[in-house]
Chains A and B, each alone.
Chain A
Amino acid sequence: MDIELIKVALGGLALLVCIGLFFGIGLALAAHKFAVQANPKVEAVLEVLAGAQ
């Protein structure tokens, strides 16, 4: 096997891991910071109501 090709493949793997970690953590932080409190009662009421549409 060509050592150069292995290097490129490992580089690609490292890049994907980095992007995944970076944006994953970023999204998690954003979701935490911009969290919206949903009232569970709203959904419970909607479920009981007749849903014609």
Chain B
Amino acid sequence: MRHIERQKIFLLGAAILMVLISLAGCKTQHRFVDKTAFKGSHDIVLTFAAPVDADWARDASNYRVCEKPDPDIRLDIAGIHLSADRRIVDLHFQEALNQGQPHVVTLHNIMSEGKSLGDETVNVKKLYLGFLFSILIGAMLIHNFVFTKYLGLCVFFGTSQKKTTAVGMGITFTLVIVASAMMSWALYQFVLKPYHLNFLQIIVFIGLVSLSVQAVDTVLRKINPALFKAFGVYLVLVIANCIILAVPLILADNEYNAWESLMLALGAGLGFLIALFLMSSVRERLELANVPPTYRGLPIAFVVAGLFALAFLGFSGMSIF
């Protein structure tokens, strides 16, 4: 009975922590730029925290706008409209914006109340559930980490011999990757980025991964010994998986906010689970098949993985919404 109570408190604590992080995560941009958004098909709207100088705001050379994947192609601004309270700037473009891609707006030497606030770079993204869903499906199927990026292969081949171990590993991995990715995201946004310590990304992220694995190991051993036994050796194996390091690096690179990071981590974990399940189903059948002696074991597994990768290639280039 006490075990169950303690477990509930633990879960509740974790949920509250997640919600707090997510709420804080809605504002990760520069402190002076409150909000950025697309408006209609041709406009980007920037909302500032305080009134900006009209001369600065109306000068088109102070803005540099491009799509995130093509930083060399500068988009032409056709007109600039400043609101009466001088806090909202509406940039009108000659051509319709491709809103499926995040846009990067660089503001040169922001002037407010006669004072310079320096340069700033902000991202403009479509922020609604569809975008989050497309990140989830993208990480899960379209850019599946195992079959299109070839990451995490060692654990993938090691634990895909039996369906039960494959599913156990997949679930453990999903839990750990979500926890460690959220921690990495918070540390990156609130410590590494503000203090210009981006070059320490890899070391810090590796530390966080091993920390979360060790913490789950310690806590689970006491709280739920049955589940701990079911996870067995896979919990420690998670550290040896490179997907778990790739996800924090990707979300730091793309400046994802908390919800987007959560979706990417969840998609990566579920994608790995799907890959493991598919592979283990085939390998269980292969045990019964008449495979030439040279190909028995790992070689035929690699051939099968290649075929799966070909099949997953069918998703490439797909975009949702």
A contact residues vs B (CB 8 Å cutoff):
8, 11-12, 15-16, 19-20, 23, 26-27, 30-31, 34-36
Interface residue total, chain B, C-beta cutoff 8 A: 20
| Selected interface stretch from B43-51, B195-203, B244-252, B253-261 | B195-203
**Is A36's CB under 8 angstroms from B197's CB?**
no
B contact residues vs A (CB 8 Å cutoff):
187, 191-192, 195-197, 199-200, 203-204, 207, 211, 214-215, 218-219, 221-223, 225
Q: Given the known A-B contacts A8-B196, A27-B214, are A36 and B221 also in contact in the complex, defined by CB atoms under 8 Å?
A: yes
Q: How far is the CB of B82 from chain A (nearest CB, A)?
A: 36
Residues of chain A lying within 8 A (CB to CB) of residue B197? 8, 11-12, 15
Report Cα–Cα, A20/B208, bound state, in Å. Answer: 10
Considering the complex, give the chain A residue whose CB is closest to the CB of B211. Answer: A23
- Looking at chain A's contact residues, the main secondary structure is helix
**Is A30's CB under 8 angstroms from B200's CB?**
no
Q: How far is the CB of A15 from chain B (nearest CB, A)?
A: 6
Q: Can you give 5 A-B contacts (C-beta < 8 A)?
A: A15-B200, A16-B203, A35-B222, A36-B221, A36-B225
**Is A27's CB under 8 angstroms from B218's CB?**
yes
Report Cα–Cα, A30/B213, bound state, in Å. Answer: 13
Residues of chain A lying within 8 A (CB to CB) of residue B219? 30, 34
Residues of chain B lying within 8 A (CB to CB) of residue A26? 215
Q: How far is the CB of B214 from chain A (nearest CB, A)?
A: 6
**Is A16's CB under 8 angstroms from B222's CB?**
no
